[in-house]
A and B are shown apart, each in its own frame.
Chain A
């Protein structure tokens, strides 16, 4: 103890275990009380109340009504992932190639919606898509259709609105991956005889894959549990699993069955996360940062 400076918190590059724990404690406590604990009690309820049973899970996985909801959830999440990927990649590419004011405007147009309430953005889509909404008025005005089309409460509308809400989660990781590709790779490829298309196909796109993978993972997992947008835009006809859980809890007061649905969703999310993590790791191994 002779005059050795204290490095308990500041000054050291590596914190002691005690210091690390102290720094993480507020978050860990919060996560435990507000997330782990309720989730655990819900899952407990689905398995053990009133006595140990798998009946709730059996019901969730065999009754066609609920299976359809789950399949629709998967289909919508997959469509949203694909659509955001198609929209995000070119945008991320443009951002990676921009600087100064143009980059600032592009980043702002991606981030500003993220800072706007999901509810507000969802209502905006309702205004656009409803029977006498902007889109229908335009279509009728242009003579494309005689009477208003049914746009709201369709799966397409849900996919469109969710894609809009989730787009930033796809753009940002791809942008960061593309931003990390040195311009010299592009030049080297051209020097070696690659056309612009070949440079994209053989060099740029493969190097963007780590960003594409994490973007897809993020959007897909967020989409699986999405609540507000599908509930408002899809209505009861296009119910997704989160809406079904809410219905079971608030209308049926069937906490055990809601717990089983949450359990199924959670298992699926974990499965995908683990699978993708393998893929991401493999990708790191194949390529390198």
Chain B
């Protein structure tokens, strides 16, 4: 704890205002504004091409935006070159310098800041201890495993007490078990030294596991920013509902007009009428898409609820997933947790589906 205390810094926030970045005619980032609180762990989550990496590169200083500003700790950094920003960054691939020892790598940013040899070595050793790699200082990076290399990269990125730490999919090259271990370890380290972290990932599990808040991006636009719980329980766009976790989408038309949060009746494409909660204002007869999580669907008698036919049951130990066919022909998934009192219905059996109205979220459907 002594070492991590030596590394802890006064954490600062980041403000991004109206960021736009074009590559040719493509808008990689299209008017994104968001604020990262001091000491917060924020994940930028999205599929490839969503603009998450471009936002990180703009914070780092490797991409200058076409519009908008970036402030760190209240200071406008939009046009400051990367080497004068005093930010830390861990890259996707291991970027330890192969001709330097582990300790020389960690001491490198201190050398660039003009510190004396003795102090450099002392602080580098302390940082190495923080990532639990004491005694590895004299080795070459190539003599370490992938996980160890990435821990050295983290030590190197925090040894000079940067204002914030940027991480560009730093765990994507590791295998699954090590990745999960490193997720928790990185999160602990972040809490210990209290540094503000912006973490880019395309892996939603990683984002939900590590982040205080997650910013979901798609096609250069910010879809939603919120806690993992908010994103899962109350997604504000159909994209977020589909991207975070598993979701069934059913198409239909609103029976009547409704404002956001209101219960509305929806005529499904198969003709059945169901109830859902409107996420945004919908006009009467407007096309909507209802999103329902597989584990929020309940099985019942075919006479009550939405009729469906069991097509397949997939047993996965902790839960059984049923593939059901609606009268419209659409297939939807239902999850029965293991140990639930009710027996799974047999394939071919007819069942009735029901749900709590707040679990069925109706999004306006432009398509």
Contacts and interface: CB of A to CB of B under 8 A. Distances in A.
Interface in B108-127: 108-109, 111-113
A121 B166 CA distance: 54
A188 B91 contact: yes
Contacts of A185: 95, 97
A288 to B, nearest CB: 4
B78 to A, nearest CB: 17
B112 A286 contact: no
B98 to A, nearest CB: 5
A210 B314 CA distance: 57
B172 interface: no
A212 to B, nearest CB: 13
B89 A188 contact: yes
Interface in B74-102: 81-84, 86-89, 91, 93, 95, 97-99
B142 interface: yes
A288 B140 contact: yes
A194 B156 CA distance: 13
Contact of A191 (B82, B93, B140, B141): B82
A193 B87 CA distance: 9
- Kindly name the residue among A184, A193, A198, A288 whose own CB sees the greatest number of chain B CB atoms within 10 A: A193
Interface stretch (A57-65, A102-110, A201-209): A201-209
Chain A contact patch, size range: 20 to 34
A202 B108 CA distance: 9
Contacts of A30: none
A193 B160 contact: yes
A187 interface: yes
Nearest to B85: A191
A132 interface: no
B86 A193 contact: yes
A202 B104 CA distance: 11
A53 interface: no
A192 B91 contact: no
B315 interface: no
B62 interface: yes
B279 interface: no
Interface string B53-72: 00000001110000000000
A287 interface: yes
Contact of B82 (A187, A203, A207): A187
A16 interface: no
B142 A184 contact: no
A195 interface: yes
A105 B102 CA distance: 40
B88 A191 contact: yes
Interface string A169-206: 00000000000001011011111111100100011001
A187 B166 CA distance: 13
A60 B91 CA distance: 60
Contacts of A195: 83, 112
B142 A288 contact: yes
Given A194-B83, A194-B112, A288-B142, A188 B95 contact: yes
Contacts of B89: 187-188, 191
A191 B98 contact: no
A188 B87 CA distance: 11
B114 to A, nearest CB: 10
Interface of B: 60-62, 81-84, 86-89, 91, 93, 95, 97-99, 108-109, 111-113, 140-142, 156-157, 160
11 contacts: A187-B91, A189-B97, A190-B61, A190-B83, A193-B112, A194-B83, A195-B83, A202-B111, A206-B99, A207-B98, A287-B140
